[in-house]
């Protein structure tokens, strides 16, 4: 287990039935889930799942109905007991914890938000938010203070004395989120938390979650059947089918390198421009020059040898400085003291690596050359040209030659 692994799941099984060992044995012999059910009447809910969740990431578990995603997230905090395998949180296998130690772990480290708002109508917003703390025996003054702070985090501080039936659906779900946050959990488990909301409110709740995550960096496991939601929220995504974890990767890894036809079918029709960024598609196949005084003629020769029209100028630390063309260099070469920086093209602006492809279509189309891409520190990452952009938008990956 590496230093950044918050949760490690190894060979996890859940069998619904009275002889799980027999089912697991059949699975290991290669018998599929449907045949196992036909032979035994038992259901293999989660099948030999293994993955890690890094500290501070949003890890989305997605799949079709019946894929095992909700079962899996309930295994993580043992709302459902595993049939076999390990669930290691901060180095401790919770599958082996006593009931008392498990309750303490949940109280100390975990929060959970469900699809249903699960608010009690006879309690006001503050009392609903503090309810879990009350069950944990937290004194009233402390639990109300923590609940009020959690309501502030989700923008509902002024609604603390309101009743659930006075709130909109989105506000009620915010109360559910605040109740989970009141315990200040290191791990937040969210099972289809936004799926009951209408699309506009759902997008607002996604924004809210991303804002909270930017501020607090919790480890979040988020179950969703919605691909757009998974792509928007997930640092990494696990795709499930029939109880199996088929593939784990970043959104663009899964989009561009699907493990099989099942995963590929999930992403068919996805708007790639909303997923990939400039940094995802930039390639380093252009001429680069390290800026030094008196290199203008050498630069012309080097660009000509590579049969290119432009070159990208960086310093010794690969920080981007500018773009030159053969024409701009030849003009500068005729001056008494040629200097490379005076040949920089004025109409080329670098693209931040995080810029979505949708937002670079127009700049790339209008630029005289492929646009350079830079990271947060201004380091050169490569170039996005018109040809490269068209191939990325067509879902064909990056070309061999830019």
48-59 confidence digits (pLDDT tens): 999 999 999 999
Alpha helices (H) in 110-260, listed in sequence order:
125-135, 140-153, 169-181, 199-216, 227-233, 251-256
CATH for the stretch 55-78+98-274: 3.40.50.300
Percent over 70 (pLDDT), the chain: 93
CATH for the stretch 288-393: 3.10.580.10
pTM, rounded to two decimals: 0.69
Using pLDDT thresholds of 50, 70 and 90, give the confidence band for residue 401. very low
- Convert 122-152 to b/e letters by CB count within 10 Å (16 or more is b): eebbbbbbbbbbeeeebeeeebbebbbebbe
Percent over 90 (pLDDT), the chain: 36
2-41 pLDDT per residue, tens: 458 999 999 999 999 999 999 999 999 999 889 999 999 9
248 has a pLDDT exceeding 80: yes
Query: In whole angstroms, what is the distance from residue 105 CA to residue 196 CA?
Result: 29
Cβ atoms of 49 and 12 within 8 Å: the answer is: yes
pLDDT of residue 347: 86
pLDDT of residue 399: 42
398 has a pLDDT exceeding 60: no
263-299 pLDDT per residue, tens: 888 776 666 666 678 888 888 878 888 876 558 888 9
Cβ atoms of 120 and 131 within 8 Å: the answer is: yes
pLDDT of residue 106: 85
pLDDT of residue 294: 54
Query: In whole angstroms, what is the distance from residue 370 CA to residue 133 CA?
Result: 56
For the chain, residues classed under CATH 3.40.50.300 are 55-78+98-274
pLDDT of residue 72: 94
More reliable by pLDDT, 3 or 301: 301
For the chain, residues classed under CATH 3.10.580.10 are 288-393
Could you give the maximum distance between any two Cα atoms of the chain, in Å?
A: 90
pLDDT of residue 316: 82
Phi-psi region of 265 (alpha: psi -120 to 50; beta: other; left: phi over 0): alpha
60-74 pLDDT per residue, tens: 999 888 889 999 999
**How is residue 198 written in tokens?**
């209408």
1 has a pLDDT exceeding 80: no
β-sheet with 43-54: strand ranges across: 43-54, 5-16, 84-89, 92-93
pLDDT of residue 272: 66
């Amino acid at each position: 287990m590496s230093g950044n692994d918050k949760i490690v799941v190894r060979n996890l099984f859940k069998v619904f039935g009275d002889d799980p060992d027999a089912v697991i044995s059949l699975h290991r012999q290669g018998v599929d889930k449907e045949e196992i059910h036909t032979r035994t009447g038992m259901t293999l809910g989660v099948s030999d799942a293994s993955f890690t969740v890094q500290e501070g990431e949003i890890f989305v578990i997605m799949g079709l109905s019946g894929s095992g995603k909700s079962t899996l997230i309930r295994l993580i905090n043992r709302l459902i007991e595993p049939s076999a395998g390990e669930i290691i949180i901060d180095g401790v296998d919770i599958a082996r914890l006593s009931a008392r130690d498990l309750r303490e772990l949940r109280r100390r480290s975990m929060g959970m938000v469900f699809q249903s708002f699960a608010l009690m109508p006879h309690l006001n917003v503050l009392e609903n938010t503090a309810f879990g703390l009350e069950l944990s025996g937290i004194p009233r003054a402390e639990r109300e203070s923590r609940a009020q702070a959690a309501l502030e985090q989700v923008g509902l501080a002024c609604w603390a004395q309101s009743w659930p039936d006075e709130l909109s659906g989105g506000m009620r779900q915010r109360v559910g989120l605040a109740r989970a946050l009141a315990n200040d959990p290191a791990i937040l488990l969210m099972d289809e938390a936004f799926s009951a909301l209408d699309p506009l409110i759902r997008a607002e709740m996604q924004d809210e979650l991303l804002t909270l995550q930017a501020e607090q960096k919790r480890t979040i496991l988020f179950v969703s059947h919605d691909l757009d939601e998974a792509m928007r929220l997930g640092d990494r995504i696990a795709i499930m089918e029939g109880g199996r974890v088929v593939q784990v990767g970043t959104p663009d890894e899964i989009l561009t390198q699907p493990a099989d036809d099942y995963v590929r079918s999930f992403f068919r029709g996805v708007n790639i421009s909303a997923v990939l960024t400039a940094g995802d598609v930039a390639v380093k196949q252009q001429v680069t020059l390290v800026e030094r005084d008196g290199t203008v003629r050498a630069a012309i020769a080097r660009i000509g040898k590579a049969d290119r029209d432009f070159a990208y100028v960086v310093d010794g630390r690969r920080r981007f400085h500018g773009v030159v063309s053969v024409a701009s260099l030849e003009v500068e070469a005729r001056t008494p003291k040629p200097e490379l920086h005076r040949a920089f093209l004025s109409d080329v602006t670098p693209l931040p690596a995080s810029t979505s492809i949708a937002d670079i279509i127009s700049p790339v189309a209008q630029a005289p050359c492929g646009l350079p891409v830079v990271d947060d520190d201004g380091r050169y990452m490569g170039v996005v040209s018109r040809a490269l952009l068209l191939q990325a938008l067509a879902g064909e990956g990056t070309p061999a030659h830019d």
